[in-house]
Amino acid sequence: MELAGLILLLLLGLLWYDSLNAREIAVRAAREACASEDLLFLDDTVGIRSLKLARNADGHVQLQRAYDFEFSDTGNNRLQGSVVLLGKHVALLNIG
């Protein structure tokens, strides 16, 4: 029973670490997209919307994470954008 608990803690720690890295990828993608469209990336952060299992183009199961972020085109408003990661790769980025 103790071994199972330790393995569970280890797996949760690995998921947490992997999620931190994925979040940084999402922040970088959102920042670069806003910069390329001459938009302001607000708060310099993304927020997780969903986490689920999905298949990639090769049919392998990976974690799919969807993040929301806010940006502005004038500096006086807040608009919603989103980034979807499949594994460590940006699958979809929406600013509009």
Q: How many CA atoms lie within 13 A of 40 on its CB side?
A: 10
Question: Residue 96 pLDDT more than 90?
Answer: no
pLDDT of 91: 97
* Model confidence band, residue 1 (pLDDT cutoffs 50, 70, 90): confident
pLDDT, one tens digit per residue, over 28-87 is 999 999 999 999 999 999 999 999 999 999 999 999 999 999 999 998 999 999 999 999
Q: What is the pTM of this model?
A: 0.89
